Structure 1
Amino acid sequence: MMLTTADKRAAFRKLHEAGCFIIPNPFDVGSAKALQHLGFKALASTSAGFAWTMGQPDNRVTVDDVCNHLTAICAAVDIPVNADFEDGFAHEPDKVAVNVASAVKSGVAGLSIEDFTGDNARPLFDRALAVERIKAARQAIDADKSGVLLTGRCEAFLRGIKDLNLVIDRLTAYAEAGADCLYAPGISTKEEISAVVKAVHPRPVNLLVGAAGPSLADAGSLGVRRISVGGALARMAWAGVMKAAKEMAEQGTFTEFANGYPGGELNKMFK
């Protein structure tokens, strides 16, 4: 029996109450189904991973593309899905609210709003505007009592601003503005992670882990509630495609296909 959207949203909130869980990032319906098959309790979309399936760089797809993608993934799996909703696909708070309302209709259990402007020269929205954008997202989520979990993201570390005090100031402000979960992609040391967890307590913290980083157990011991991997799984998939394709293009040989995942196993999994 498929769970209702309300069931998924309630389950997602419960996951944030104790312990630490991995929320891996599928990039299409097939990868979402595979991750559910492996026993993960929730999933998160990846803006980069999805953009690459569309032949676009990250942060270059439309809000309609993303909402259609989210609708398809939410309908395909029986576990909660969190949306990487980038900057809300607008700068102005009222437009962010309109787009968040559209995302809520896709069936997501959660979504994140980041403070990256899209301009590397001035990467972060002014603090006051960034806070208003979180408030607008909160109001849009609460308008129909959807129960969607809102994550506030500070992009400072990812954009080269390694100022932990700035990050903590913003995350605490986002929490006050209505964010249920806080996220600062790019923090990595025990000291940074612990400081963020302590600053926003008791609200849960999401940690981004890529090629290196703490294990699930170690992150949990630091007080992290949730670990996501961003575009890492998508990059792994592309690594296999590009390695085999380059071999064909450059050498005219096909040996890399021996490393492919068995088609019979995939058919069995998707049956």
Structure 2
Amino acid sequence: MTTRIAFIGLGIMGLPMATNLVRAGYDVHAYNRSERSFEGTLAGSIAEAVTDADVIVTMLPDSPDVSAVVLGADGVLASAAEGALLIDMSSITPATAREVAAAAADAGVRALDAPVSGGEQGAIDGSLSIMVGGSAEDFEAARPVLEVLGATVVHVGPAGSGQTVKAANQLIVAGTIGLVAEALTFLDAHSVDLEPAVAVLAGGLAGNRILDRKAAGMIAHSFDPGFRIDLHHKDLGIVVDSARDAGVAIPLGAVAAQLMSAARAQGHGSLDHSALLLVIESLSRRPA
């Protein structure tokens, strides 16, 4: 392949995603603020990574990071070639995504917001779910790259739509983690053997991806971060703000956001979001 890709952000998610693009045969030039080991080419600056890139992928922690990296004086748009395709795969506010798309259009750059779901393992496996906002034409241009990274790649509407769907995703995930945490604490309080209990729950109508992927770690109280509480707390802030702006009631989501905030306040921000279990246990006075 002759397509050159600039990849900005080699964190928990970004590094395996960029690595998968290298292994798929793309010429990947990556930049990260801190030094990382990487199979492709490491650039010394954003400008060095972006110059002459056909596709630019950003995978950053939050809206201010995307604004700084993309819109800043030494950012992506300052060095991107006209006609380049910018794919922001960070989880940010829909408003920031629309701002980036407008600025990109002014610079002659095509832009998509394409946040992901699936966590670190999904990034490693190339099995992410990717929800894409932007024009249908630009989505089709990006599809070969996105299909290296994800198993489910769907165009969901105009600029900002990908981020709106991601917010809904994070709402559902947080609520489900909270309910699984409550169920595990409830079962343990009644001296039920947790592993077979989870197996039978997962095979019925209560079955869900959180039971499949997170329950074993929750039972073992192993919370190595695949997706940190700090990040999910940020995402739920986007959900709450966006719901308020639209006049949408999210009573269950508001409780999930409060619980995630409590987990962060208790010092669990660097743990996997499944550590929400610790909050439920503390409320139940049943610490590990």
TM-score, with length taken from structure 2: 0.31
Between structure 1 and structure 2, the one with the greater Rg is 2
Bigger relative contact order (CA 8 A; separation at least 6): 1
Q: Given the two structures, how large is their TM-score scaled by the length of structure 1?
A: 0.32
